[in-house]
Chain A
């Protein structure tokens, strides 16, 4: 196989991510109920990660060169960026959008229902993770720009839906503690399974990465240092597995903190939280 050395730069300064980030920031600033600085810091963090995921060498390597880089980008988009965005919402902002007013439209009602249902958030969050690693889809998204845009959008949307039941700014929309623990722990199990599968399978999950048409110069160096495509995939699988689980465990810790804190309205104990399961 003849390996072509790509002339692409390691930094992609002209990524549309800038534009998206700017639009989101403007919308956020114009939104009624903007109050606290800490909330907007979350927004800045989230948007910086978003820009970083596309502009830095990570974004370039993720674009068909390195499976593990793709995996990091994927985790940032699915988990970190949406988490920051959800945390950046001030409590009041959720009220008009998601509380049931009399004259709300049916679309809005449905949306509210979906976002309240933990099963929706869980399956969409996990579903996006699994779906985009079916070899055919993974390949298609890597080779086709439009599909990769679709993938990015679904990642972000699925991530928002996933985190909503845990960190919704409206406390009534949040899951009770024990449910939240089961929700996050089973999500961890979901990515553990996928991670184990990618790590140990002999199948090439994303052939586009295993035999790229051209290589970046930096990859030759990486390859010489032992980063073969199978090691790359193994690393990708482990990234799929350990960092998200660590994030979920951290989220579980924060849920437990909430649970032990006194005077939290709408939290009446672990036992209560089993109600929905029982019904």
Chain B
């Protein structure tokens, strides 16, 4: 372990070199500058790319919102056709969640996490670039659907069977699925990067109990993303297989389940809410202390309660489904879980307020947005508690009350947190201050807009207006509030324009910021504004939660008053850590596919079942080959460790051969089944069987390719392979794939749990 450390840092250093040469201010021509952005692997530039892309999609998503509001201005409006209206709210929701909310937060994390922990870059700069480029790629795929004549129109959670082929013939839904898979892969990659960065790249002295809260929240968000996105990916994969290959996972008419989609979607969808709000919690946990000139009140409680939120968020998804009729037991348990989540959140509100209490508050725009966050988010949180009381949910879910509720959370929470962070960190990112006067215009426009639009919608919900209706001709009484909501939307749009104007003016002739204009506490203020490509001339030493405060107030340094657990100095290996994170993510993916298998095959009757078409002994034989390959790889690793290179190559080759034999066996099995006309579209057994084993086979093939690359590199005496942790990392993946197969074999071939 320890002997691999130098290599790992060496790798990071080589990435740093790439970073520096990319962002060096040499190119003068605009072409060169453009190229430097396109080819950059610098976390700061990638962060800015993320943020700019998100702002671009914010404009589109905002325009869609405005079109929706125009359509609903008066009762019998024909501004949009019903189908176009449905496309608008579908695209508005999808865009705002996947192309605005997640990217802009990842952008800020990308820019500031390495700075705040005193690192030179993220752990994997090139992976970072790939994660970013998947974003425009996914976004373009999603919006390309307009070219097919129709955008997706099944709502942002695309409930089956409305999203299945019989009710949704257009290819738009396929674009939606594929676009989301792209974005999901990008998000998971970005999150693994942040996860490893926080664990591995911290400055000396910065124990995990000392990281700034924004960094801690980023770590929590990364864990959430890594474990939640695969749930969406598995559901999307199944829906795509339904639509393109004729399976029937989500088609009740052919035995599928309409409710399973909802379960899978919200297993992802509820943690997603926290993916969107936790980083904003982190942002205002930075802003409020700095502008109150006090440390955060109860650091451990703010950080610990977020960890509890992460854990609980996986157990509350069905509160989106109280109207589904899951039964009183399920309803009540999920309600209690949901109510419990209110506790750690409420604790944080207390801590933020207590931080302001007794402080020396400077009401800058950043601070005002943070205070607005507190007030508006509390409203969103309290309406959330109302929905946790099941009978209230029975009345108000699927009405405008719920639309109002989550916009208070996402705008009052996430967006206000982001605005606060923008005013707080813009000087660091550009070296120039934003105008406070324009900032306050933006603040009041947004505060008015948010409350006008979404308070009205709360009332509309109580008046009985369902969400997602394109007309309310039979209810002219709803007009006044809808019109008022429209005015609020215009105010928010105007506020956004003010912000863009502010940024534009500031970039041209804004006041120079200096290194630390706000007297900030954390490490990003210890370097120049904007920071140099290498971030810090000398990596600072940390001994408390507020290193820059300690430097500014040596006589009142935190260490004298508050003891924090010291840093052991140990950092995990980044390849190994990243592969464990990846394996955890993949495990969730397979887990959900296997759950689908069990759900659909428990009392399946018919001619084609696992018992009737599978050749268990033959597959058992091939399974032995796969499991044997785990053993041979383990041998190979051991031999590499003691430096027996030729034997190592032999055992590695044996591993590859055994893996190939397994894949060959699977090919034979597939050929046999398909030639006897057993295909994925036959029934739910074949659908689940081919999906599970197919994805597993795909993973084996990926593992084989990776092992093949290692084999070739080892033959070329590549030093990374021979002395680094590469083989070990791939080994973890390979063993994981084998373990998955044990479960697949037991459940599908041996029929456990049926």
Chain A in direct contact with chain B (Cβ < 8 angstroms): yes
- Beta-carbon contact of A274 and B577 below 8 Å: yes
* A residues in contact with B570, CB < 8 Å: 268-269, 271-272, 275
Q: Please determine whether A268 and B311 come into contact, CB atoms closer than 8 angstroms.
A: no
> What is the distance, in angstroms, from B225's C-beta to the closest C-beta of chain A?
16
- Structural contact, A264 and B565, CB atoms closer than 8 A: yes
Q: Provide the B300-316 mask, 1 if CB < 8 A to any CB of A, else 0.
A: 10011001100110010
Residue B567 lies at the interface, judged by CB distance under 8 Å to chain A: yes
Let me know if B333 and A197 touch, CB within 8 A.
no
Which among B566, B572, B598 is the interface contact of A274 at CB below 8 angstroms? B572
Query: Contact at A199–B330, with CB atoms within 8 Å?
Result: yes
Contact yes or no, B565 A260, CB < 8 A:
yes
- Considering the chains assembled together, what is the distance between the CA atoms of A235 and B331 in angstroms? 11
CB pair A260–B573 under 8 Å, yes or no, is no
Chain A residues with CB under 8 A of B312: 249
Is the Cβ of A238 less than 8 Å from the Cβ of B603?
Answer: no
Cβ-defined partner of B602 (8 Å) among A203, A234, A249, A277: A203
User: Inside 8 A of A246's CB, which chain B residues have their CB?
Assistant: 340
Contact with B along A140-172 (1 / 0, CB 8 A): 000000000000000000000000000000000
**A249 with B576: in contact, given A231-B329, A267-B565 (CB under 8 Å)?**
no
Q: Mark A239-268, 1 if CB is under 8 A from B, else 0.
A: 001100110010011001101111110011
Residue of A nearest to B337 (CB): A242
Q: How far is the CA of A241 from the CA of B316 in the complex (A)?
A: 12
Is A238 touching B568 in the complex (CB atoms < 8 A)?
Answer: no
Q: Are the CB atoms of B300 and A260 closer together than 8 Å?
A: yes
Query: How would you classify the secondary structure of chain B's contact residues: helix, strand, loop or mixed?
Result: helix
Q: Is A185 an interface residue (CB 8 A)?
A: yes
> In whole angstroms, how far apart are the Cα atoms of A267 and B568 in the complex?
9
Instruction: Establish whether residues A272 and B336, one from each chain, have CB atoms under 8 Å apart when the complex forms.
Output: no
Chain B residue at minimal CB-CB distance from A230: B327
> Given A260-B300, A278-B573, are A271 and B329 neighbors across the interface (CB < 8 Å)?
no
Contact A245 B567 (CB under 8 A): no
Decide yes or no: A197 and B598 within 8 Å by CB, A241-B333, A268-B568, A274-B577 being known contacts: yes
B545–chain A nearest beta-carbon distance, Å: 11
List residues of chain A with CB within 8 A of the CB of B580. 274, 277
The residue of chain B having its C-beta at the shortest distance from the C-beta of A252 within the complex is: B311
B571 at the interface (CB under 8 A from A): yes
B753 on the A face (CB < 8 A): yes
Interface string of B255-277 (1 = CB under 8 A from A): 00000000000000000000000
Q: Is A17 an interface residue (CB 8 A)?
A: no
Does A44 sit within 8 A of B, measured CB to CB? no
Counting chain B residues whose Cβ lies within 8 A of the other chain, the interface size class is 35 or more
- Residue of A203, A234, A272 near B329 (CB, 8 A) is A234
Number of interchain pairs (Cβ within 8 Å): 96
A48 on the B face (CB < 8 A): no
Instruction: Report the Cα distance A278→B568, complex, angstroms.
Output: 17
Within the complex, what minimum Cβ distance (angstroms) separates B345 from chain A? 15
Question: Quick check: is A139 within 8 A (CB to CB) of the other chain?
Answer: no
User: When chains A and B are docked, how far (Å) is the Cα of A238 from the Cα of B327?
Assistant: 11
Asked if A256 and B563 sit within 8 Å, CB to CB, the answer is no
* Given contact pairs A242-B333, A269-B209, A249 touches B308 in the complex (Cβ within 8 A): yes
Given the complex of chains A and B, what is the CA–CA distance between A246 and B343 in angstroms?
14
Most buried by B among A193, A252, A269, A275: A269
Q: Is B564 an interface residue (CB 8 A)?
A: yes
Is the pair A249, B565 in contact by a Cβ cutoff of 8 Å?
Answer: no
Known A278-B572, A278-B576; contact A259-B565, beta-carbon cutoff 8 A: yes
**Does B355 touch A at the CB level, under 8 Å?**
no
A279 within 8 A of B: yes
Q: What is the distance, in angstroms, from A84's C-beta to the closest C-beta of chain B?
A: 23
Q: A238-B329, A261-B565 are in contact. List 6 more A-B contacts (CB 8 A).
A: A256-B307, A259-B209, A260-B565, A271-B199, A271-B571, A274-B199
B residues neighboring A (CB under 8 Å) = 1, 199, 207-209, 300, 303-304, 307-308, 311-312, 315, 327, 329-330, 333, 336-337, 340, 563-568, 570-573, 576-577, 580, 591, 595, 598-599, 602-603, 753
Which positions in A face B, CB cutoff 8 Å? Answer: 181, 185, 188, 192-193, 196-197, 199-203, 231, 234-235, 238, 241-242, 245-246, 249, 252-253, 256-257, 259-264, 267-272, 274-275, 277-279
A-B contact pairs, 16 of them (CB 8 A): A193-B591, A193-B595, A197-B598, A241-B333, A242-B336, A245-B315, A249-B312, A252-B307, A252-B311, A256-B304, A256-B307, A269-B207, A270-B199, A274-B199, A274-B580, A277-B580
